């Protein structure tokens, strides 16, 4: 069965760029959509964006100016870059597979990213 694992720095400096990678195992990244989410400590879930294996993307309008999601089919990975980060971007970041139009499943375990100097 498909499993996802987020990886990347747990600490990012203010005004810097947050970079995370999601590695997909147990299945191919081909023919599916893949998504990023985040959850600030003690708060709710926020959709960041998704990417099709071919590279087509769609982003949350509130983050669109700062977000880039890319895919590397040769490595079965997709990545997130969020620029000009502030403390408000501190959160647990999750990746997930999108099956159909409303089926985000499975999810990675999540990775905590703190924005601080």
111 binds other proteins (CB under 8 A): no
103 binds other proteins (CB under 8 A): yes
Among 45, 55, 70, 87, binds other proteins (CB under 8 A): 45
Q: What is the dihedral of CA 92, 98, 102, 105, to 10 degrees?
A: -60
Pure H helices in 73-112: none
79 binds other proteins (CB under 8 A): no
Query: DSSP state, 17?
Result: -
60 binds other proteins (CB under 8 A): yes
- Which helix (H) or strand (E) segment is 111 a member of? strand 111-115
Which residue ranges make up the site for other proteins (CB under 8 A)?
Answer: 35, 44-47, 50, 58, 60-61, 94, 100-110
């Amino acid at each position: 069965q498909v499993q996802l694992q987020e990886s990347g720095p747990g600490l990012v400096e203010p005004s810097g760029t947050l970079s995370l990678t999601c590695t997909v195992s147990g299945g191919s990244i081909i023919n599916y959509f893949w998504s990023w989410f985040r959850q600030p400590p003690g708060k709710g879930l926020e959709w960041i964006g998704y990417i099709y294996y071919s590279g087509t993307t769609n982003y949350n309008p509130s983050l669109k100016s700062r977000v880039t999601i890319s895919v590397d089919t040769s490595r079965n990975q997709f990545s997130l870059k969020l620029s000009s980060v502030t403390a408000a971007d501190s959160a647990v970041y999750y990746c997930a597979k999108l099956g159909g139009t409303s089926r985000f499943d499975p999810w990675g375990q999540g990775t905590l990213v703190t924005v601080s100097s």
